[in-house]
């Protein structure tokens, strides 16, 4: 009987023993950056410890932000509710039942002012998980920074702004692909001049993985999307040595410890070659910088305290893989939004890794491991096969339009679920080592009355703002959208007049249509 093969989650065969060195002579901070984008990595400074938070109203989320900052969080990561993500105000009929549920409800600049009340934007970095309405939320953030008197050349943060993965894996898109790509490149162009330290896109593999992809697929589809954004910006006439420096990535970190580390190392190497082939000569434009988050889909509602161990394992892999920024999930997130206690343990997990484990004392401590080097090479080869196939189709947009990427992810998700149900893949507390009754834990719920409160705020705002100025700003935005001008200044003007997110999004819907 033939011995059963051992493989990674992506199907890459793992040998019983590795005896041949990979012959890697690279140094950290040097092309192609396999070993890290800085020569000293965490010896210089630790990664940014972010906590992804946002729920209910801006007032409630503001309290959580102040708490997280008091506990040592180094950067905020804002979660928005679904109506905000797809361009509906809280009082829209389609927003019913969703206001404030999976993130904070933001309807206007007024909400952003409340969200960051008492927080100086010049002193923090802010990551915003927003895509279809990214230009609007970024405009609100810029408007608040201006009101605070901050130097726009110095404020820093990231807006996700990655619409291709929405078509492929997540679904919170509004406009057709061509119009969406225009908005994205408009943000690239505007920020390169006005907000040069802002990361104008976070190309996300996280949601691709959450939808059921393998590690290799996550890497391949994310980098293919990255190539599409590079080419779109080049077609707009932007300088790759300028705008590519402001591109960042957002990866998932799952349970297979060594595969995840190798994935991150392969990602840096592959992106360095992709940017170089497209004309980047500046080392800063060739570096893949990434934020990572522990795997939400790996969390279990059964025996939820086990998730603390899962998150620790994943966070350590992200650090050993060289992440620039990290969010650790709360142990209770398979059941509800994270409680304050769960958020604190998640943050302490990062702090213990940073200050007690010793893994930050040297750069790329697993380099030279026969296994890690071979696995890095194997993942790169497997991902390149996908990228070559997508290139042959005409790039990510064409591959998405042909349903190729979506189908590949769906197939992988189906296989994974079958392996769990058959017991071939062990999930502790789910299909092995189970308990007769689930342990009771505190859960965090958002009240449906939030929609009423938000609707009342919108009504009050519309009765006190200069509605003539709002109408004029939206008309100017509409005319600009019909032409070829950069839309960011027009969106910013509308935001500063206190036009709502829904009004701005509807203006663009009327011009671009919906997808």
90-107 confidence digits (pLDDT tens): 999 999 999 998 889 999
When pLDDT is averaged across residues 228-237 and rounded to a whole number, the result is 94
Q: Which of 141, 235, 245, 138 is nearest to 182 (CA)?
A: 235
pLDDT surpassing 70 at residue 24: no
Instruction: Read off the pLDDT of residues 462-512 as tens digits, 9 standing for 90 and up.
Output: 999 999 999 999 999 999 999 999 999 999 999 999 999 999 999 999 999
pLDDT score, position 440: 65
Alpha carbon distance 290, 492 (integer Å): 28
Q: Determine the pLDDT at residue 256.
A: 97
pLDDT at 335: 87
pLDDT at 64: 86
pLDDT of residue 439: 60
Between 244-248, 405-409, 426-430, 443-447, the lowest mean confidence (pLDDT) is in 443-447
Which H or E run contains 230? Answer: helix 215-235
> Which region among 5-9, 178-182, 183-187, 404-408 has the lowest average model confidence (pLDDT)?
5-9
The tokens of 513 are what? 């249509």
DSSP 8-state code for residue 7: B
Averaged confidence pLDDT in the chain? 92
Phi then psi for 35, rounded to 5 degrees? -90, 5
Angle (deg, nearest 10), helices 215-235 and 257-277: 20
Least confident among 158-172, 417-431, 445-459: 445-459
Query: What whole-number distance in Å separates Cα of residue 381 and Cα of residue 290?
Result: 21
pLDDT tens readout for residues 177-216: 999 999 999 999 999 999 999 999 999 999 999 999 999 9
**pLDDT per residue as tens digits for the range 303-356:** 999 999 999 999 999 999 999 999 999 999 898 778 889 989 999 999 999 999
pLDDT score for 2: 59
Q: What is the dihedral of CA 125, 131, 132, 134, to 10 degrees?
A: 10
What is the pLDDT, as a whole number, of residue 25? 77
**Angle subtended at Cα 335 by Cα 331 and Cα 340, rounded to the nearest 5 degrees:** 50
Higher pLDDT, 97 or 15: 97
H/E run at residue 241:
helix 240-243
Per-residue pLDDT, averaged over 256-263, amounts to: 98
Q: Show the CA angle centred on residue 186, arms to residues 181 and 187, nearest 5°.
A: 100
Question: Residue 459: its pLDDT value, please?
Answer: 97
Helix (H) or strand (E) holding 126: strand 125-129
Does the pLDDT at position 23 exceed 60? no
Whole-number pLDDT of residue 483? 96
The pTM is what? 0.88
* Gap between the Cα atoms of 269 and 261, Å rounded: 13
Give CA angle at 80 (76, 86), nearest 5°. 145
Q: Which sign does the torsion angle of CA 238, 244, 245, 251 carry? A: positive
- Work out the pLDDT band at 218, boundaries 50, 70, 90: very high
Question: Is the per-residue pLDDT at 300 higher than 90?
Answer: yes
Cα(101)–Cα(45) distance, rounded to whole angstroms? 35
Q: Per-residue confidence at 398, pLDDT binned at 50, 70, 90?
A: very high
């Amino acid at each position: 009987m033939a011995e059963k093969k051992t493989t990674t989650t992506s199907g890459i065969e793992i040998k019983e023993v590795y005896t041949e060195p990979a012959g890697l002579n690279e140094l950290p901070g040097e092309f192609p950056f396999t070993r890290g984008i800085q020569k000293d990595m965490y010896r210089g400074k630790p990664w940014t410890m972010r906590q992804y938070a946002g729920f209910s109203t801006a007032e409630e989320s503001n309290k959580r932000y102040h708490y997280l900052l008091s506990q040592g969080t180094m950067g905020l990561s804002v979660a928005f509710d679904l109506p905000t993500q797809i361009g509906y105000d809280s009082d829209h009929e389609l927003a019913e039942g969703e206001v404030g549920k999976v993130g904070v409800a933001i309807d206007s600049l007024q909400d952003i002012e409340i969200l960051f009340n008492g927080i100086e934007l010049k002193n923090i970095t802010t990551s915003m998980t927003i895509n279809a309405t990214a230009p609007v939320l970024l405009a609100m953030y810029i408007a608040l920074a201006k009101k605070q008197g901050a130097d726009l050349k110095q404020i820093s943060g990231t807006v996700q702004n990655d619409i291709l993965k929405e078509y492929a894996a997540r679904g919170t898109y509004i406009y057709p692909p061509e119009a969406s790509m225009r908005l994205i490149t408009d943000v690239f162009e505007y920020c390169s001049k006005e907000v040069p330290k802002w990361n104008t896109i976070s190309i996300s593999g996280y949601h691709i993985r959450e939808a059921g992809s393998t590690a290799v697929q996550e890497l391949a589809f994310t980098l293919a999307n990255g190539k599409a954004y590079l080419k779109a910006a080049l077609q707009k006439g932007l300088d790759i040595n300028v705008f590519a420096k402001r591109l960042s990535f957002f990866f998932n970190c799952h349970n297979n410890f060594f595969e995840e580390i190798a994935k991150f190392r392969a990602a840096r190497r592959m992106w360095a070659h992709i940017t170089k082939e497209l004309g980047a000569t500046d080392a800063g434009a060739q570096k893949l910088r990434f934020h990572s988050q522990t795997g939400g889909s790996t969390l279990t509602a059964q025996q939820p305290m086990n998730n603390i161990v899962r998150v620790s394992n994943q966070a350590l892999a992200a650090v050993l893989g060289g992440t620039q920024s990290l969010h650790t999930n709360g142990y209770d997130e398979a059941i509800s939004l994270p409680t304050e206690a769960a958020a604190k343990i998640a943050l302490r997990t990062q702090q213990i890794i940073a200050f007690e484990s010793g893994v930050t004392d040297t750069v790329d401590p697993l380099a030279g491991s026969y296994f890690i080097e071979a696995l890095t090479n194997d993942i790169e080869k497997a991902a390149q096969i996908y990228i070559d196939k997508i290139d042959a189709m005409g790039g990510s947009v064409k591959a998405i339009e042909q349903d190729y990427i979506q189908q590949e992810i769906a197939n992988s998700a189906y296989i994974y679920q079958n392996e769990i149900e058959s017991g071939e893949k062990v999930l502790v507390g789910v299909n092995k080592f189970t308990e007769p009754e689930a342990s009771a834990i505190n859960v965090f719920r958002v009240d449906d009355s939030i929609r009423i409160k938000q609707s009342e705020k919108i009504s009050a705002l519309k009765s006190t703002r200069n509605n003539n100025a709002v109408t004029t700003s939206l008309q100017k935005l509409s005319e600009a959208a019909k032409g070829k001008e950069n839309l960011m200044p027009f969106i910013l003007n509308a935001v500063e007049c206190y036009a709502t997110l829904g009004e701005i999004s509807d203006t663009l819907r009327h011009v671009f249509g919906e997808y």
